[in-house]
Chain A
Amino acid sequence: MSDTDTAEGTEVADLEARLSIYRMMQEGRLFEERARDLFLQGLVKGTSHLGIGQEAIAAGFAAALEPDDLVFCTYRGHVHTLLRGAPMAALMAELLGRATGICGGKGGSMHLTDVSHGAMGSYAIVGAHMPIAAGAAWAAKARGTDQVAVCFFGDGTTNIGTFHEALNLAAVWALPVVFVCENNLYMEYTAIGDVTAVEHPAADRASAYGLEPILIDGNDADVVHTTAVRTVARARSGDGPSLVEAVTYRHGGHSRADPGKYRPDEEVAEWLRRDPIPSYRERLLAAGADEGTLDAIDRDALAAVDRATEEAREAPFPDPDTLETELWADGGSAWRN
């Protein structure tokens, strides 16, 4: 990927901020690994889409946002939601379908939402959230709240109409929104290149909406973070939207049922070598971070995941009566006329 930015020559954040990015990636990774284990143990039913391998994008952006900024993500949204500050135990409980889950067990893995932390939903209809993010950005602008909306989506999403509609609207109206394409090279089981007219599914389309093409190494947390700082600042200052394509890779299959066998072995091996976390650790050590500090971050992250798992496993299942709650604003589901 000679045409993507690298950390070299980019101005990176100070060490403290980078340690925080490291912590976020590690929490995300350990949370996802635990989620995977719970699925394998049969404690979680249905399916899940893990972000293992893609944590640098979530962390790099999360570190660049204000607490009241708004994040919209997809069914592959555990890490994004967690890094907004949503309580880990409530996220874990949601995966387990418990009453204490962040959505009371109604949503499950694919639909984590925590509005109080600006986690504005994980959307399972591909592309649906892109105009919605633009609309929230419009509201923020109209209300003068100074908030920025960030919308994460996959490479496959760039071929559905809502992608194009949202980008055009956001550009025409100069909305404070950053669209972030997590290009993990696959739309489910199909290589993105087989079904897309351009090589870089998002960056090559930026010019169609008058936007700068931004193509970055999504596995380099520093690069992601500096890009996030720049595009979020642009949005906040009223200069309009950005479209970022961050190239990355999911270590596992698309979802729980998918062993990912359609991917060439060498490709998988190459991307495992480019795991965003160990390399970032090395880089921080080289930049003067203390090994003990990093070890403590690792230990704390694991302890947090352990605690959240325990809490979630002990939580009760939802009462069937909640099936018909929260259809309307009064909390109920009765016909109202």
Chain B
Amino acid sequence: MTEKNVVTAVRDALHDEMANDERIVLLGEDVGARGGVFRISDGWMAEFGEERVIDTPLAESGIVGIAIGMALHGLLPVAEIQFADFIHPAFDQVVSEAARLRYRSNGDFGVPMVIRTPYGGGIHGALYHSQSIEAFYAHIPGIKVVVPATPGDAAGLLRSAIQDPDPVLFLEHKKTYRSIKGEVADGAYLTPIGVAEVKQEGDDLTCISYGYSLHLCLDAAHRLAEDEGASVEVVDVRTLAPLDVDTIVSSVRKTGKAMVVYEDNRTYGAGAEIASTIAEQALFDLDAPILRIGGPDIPAMPFAAPLEHYFMEPEPDHIYARMRELARA
């Protein structure tokens, strides 16, 4: 076990995978000579060579398209999109090509590709460096969407993503990069894609979350336990597509109450999918309506400190307050 933050866990796992498998190539803007804006691949161009650590032109559609072609023909590309907000020019390549090639070739070939990108707000990134993009892609069958929250999960899930025979969008919440630390097991362990984890056990209500929001939920749950003795079960979905319905539903059956918390715009987001799944499969186990807390329905995170803060936390302790309400209900 070694204590690491999220960005170090990502870097170490990616590095070890690259050292172990020559088919893995890294490509993206500034990933080579500079080592990426978050310095994840610092020094790797010298270590692995310019054929494996590739500085691309500024062209997201091209980056993803090239990665798809590499993946179709024997390599294991890990494409980096510098910030998730910049992936949209590549939407077509992901949705129309990467997600469909296996299906449309009737299994003749597939796209073993990873797209890594930092997402999420709370770091003063303003309108174009803060976005949550998971819902767009989780909607598309044929692409897996992974949203780790802890260093240990980031490492284990990234290895699984690289070894996965199908395309994976790997979303790293950039506010967790340095602020979230945790123990990471040594060795090249794999954390399976599509399996949620109960991060904290409890009996009174189930709180389902992912990414940076998960930590806000864990924090609220701890405080609620101290303040009122409430016992909250916190489920980290870890991957949005495929979604681990069993873990979610069995937790809700046990506690009888459910809340879903996420930073992305509330409407048509992950919360809608999770809440409706619970309603379909566990409605008669519920003692209270499902609570859905998402980000405000505005098109981007604004810049000014009070506005950004209000986006992330619309009322003081809002997760805590609403968790308490639900626990008391």
Contacts of B202 in A (CB 8 A): none
Per-residue 0/1 for B290-325: is the Cβ within 8 Å of any A Cβ (1 yes, 0 no)? 000000111100111111011100100000000000
Contacts of B86 in A (CB 8 A): 125-126
Contacts A110-B126, A262-B34, A333-B298; is A97 near B58 (CB within 8 Å)?
no
Contacts A108-B304, A318-B306, A323-B310; is A157 near B128 (CB within 8 Å)?
no
Q: Are the C-beta atoms of B89 and A323 separated by less than 8 Å?
A: no
Contacts of A327 in B (CB 8 A): 297-299
The distance in angstroms between the C-alpha atoms of A124 and B126, with both chains bound, is 10
Per-residue 0/1 for B188-200: is the Cβ within 8 Å of any A Cβ (1 yes, 0 no)? 0000000000000
The distance in angstroms between the C-alpha atoms of A161 and B65, with both chains bound, is 13
Q: Are the C-beta atoms of B127 and A124 separated by less than 8 Å?
A: yes
Q: Are the C-beta atoms of B302 and A124 separated by less than 8 Å?
A: no
Closest CB in chain B relative to A107 CB, distance in Å: 6
The distance in angstroms between the C-alpha atoms of A189 and B45, with both chains bound, is 14
Residue A310 CB within 8 A of the other chain: no
Contacts A101-B304, A195-B55; is A111 near B127 (CB within 8 Å)?
yes
Contacts A46-B124, A105-B303; is A196 near B298 (CB within 8 Å)?
no
The distance in angstroms between the C-alpha atoms of A262 and B123, with both chains bound, is 25
Contacts A46-B124, A125-B128, A190-B34; is A107 near B58 (CB within 8 Å)?
no
Q: Which of A245-296 contact B (CB under 8 A)?
A: 262
Q: How many residues of A contact B (CB 8 A)?
A: 43
Q: Are the C-beta atoms of B297 and A333 separated by less than 8 Å?
A: yes
The distance in angstroms between the C-alpha atoms of A156 and B302, with both chains bound, is 26
Q: Which of A105, A126, A262 contacts B302 (CB 8 A)?
A: A105
The distance in angstroms between the C-alpha atoms of A333 and B55, with both chains bound, is 41
Contacts of B126 in A (CB 8 A): 46, 107-111, 124
Contacts of A209 in B (CB 8 A): none
Residue B263 CB within 8 A of the other chain: no
The distance in angstroms between the C-alpha atoms of A334 and B167, with both chains bound, is 37
Residue A236 CB within 8 A of the other chain: no
Most-contacted residue by chain B among A98, A107, A319 (CB, 10 A): A107
Q: Are the C-beta atoms of B29 and A107 separated by less than 8 Å?
A: no
Most-contacted residue by chain A among B55, B57, B89, B311 (CB, 10 A): B57
Residue A324 CB within 8 A of the other chain: yes
Q: Are the C-beta atoms of A98 and B298 separated by less than 8 Å?
A: no
Q: Are the C-beta atoms of B127 and A324 separated by less than 8 Å?
A: no
Q: Are the C-beta atoms of A107 and B127 separated by less than 8 Å?
A: yes
Per-residue 0/1 for A116-159: is the Cβ within 8 Å of any B Cβ (1 yes, 0 no)? 00000000111100000000000000000000000000001101
The binding surface of chain B is classed by DSSP as: loop
Per-residue 0/1 for A70-110: is the Cβ within 8 Å of any B Cβ (1 yes, 0 no)? 00000100000000000000000000011101001111111
The binding surface of chain A is classed by DSSP as: loop
Residue B236 CB within 8 A of the other chain: no
Contacts of A157 in B (CB 8 A): 58
Contacts A160-B89, A188-B29, A333-B297; is A45 near B305 (CB within 8 Å)?
yes
The distance in angstroms between the C-alpha atoms of A196 and B33, with both chains bound, is 16
Contacts of A107 in B (CB 8 A): 126-127, 302-303
Q: Which of A110, A111, A159 contacts B58 (CB 8 A)?
A: A159
Residue B30 CB within 8 A of the other chain: yes
Residue B281 CB within 8 A of the other chain: no
The distance in angstroms between the C-alpha atoms of A46 and B121, with both chains bound, is 11
Residue B66 CB within 8 A of the other chain: no
The distance in angstroms between the C-alpha atoms of A105 and B88, with both chains bound, is 25
Q: Which of B32, B85, B123, B299 contacts A125 (CB 8 A)?
A: B85
Write the residues of chain B forming the contact surface with A, with a CB cutoff of 8 angstroms.
29-30, 32-34, 37, 55-62, 85-86, 88-89, 123-129, 296-299, 302-307, 309-311, 314
21 A-B pairs whose Cβ atoms sit less than 8 Å apart in the complex: A45-B303, A45-B305, A46-B124, A47-B124, A47-B125, A97-B303, A105-B304, A106-B307, A109-B126, A126-B86, A160-B61, A190-B33, A190-B34, A195-B58, A317-B305, A319-B306, A320-B314, A322-B307, A323-B296, A323-B302, A333-B296
Write the residues of chain A forming the contact surface with B, with a CB cutoff of 8 angstroms.
45-47, 75, 97-99, 101, 104-111, 124-127, 156-157, 159-162, 187-190, 194-196, 262, 317-320, 322-324, 327, 333
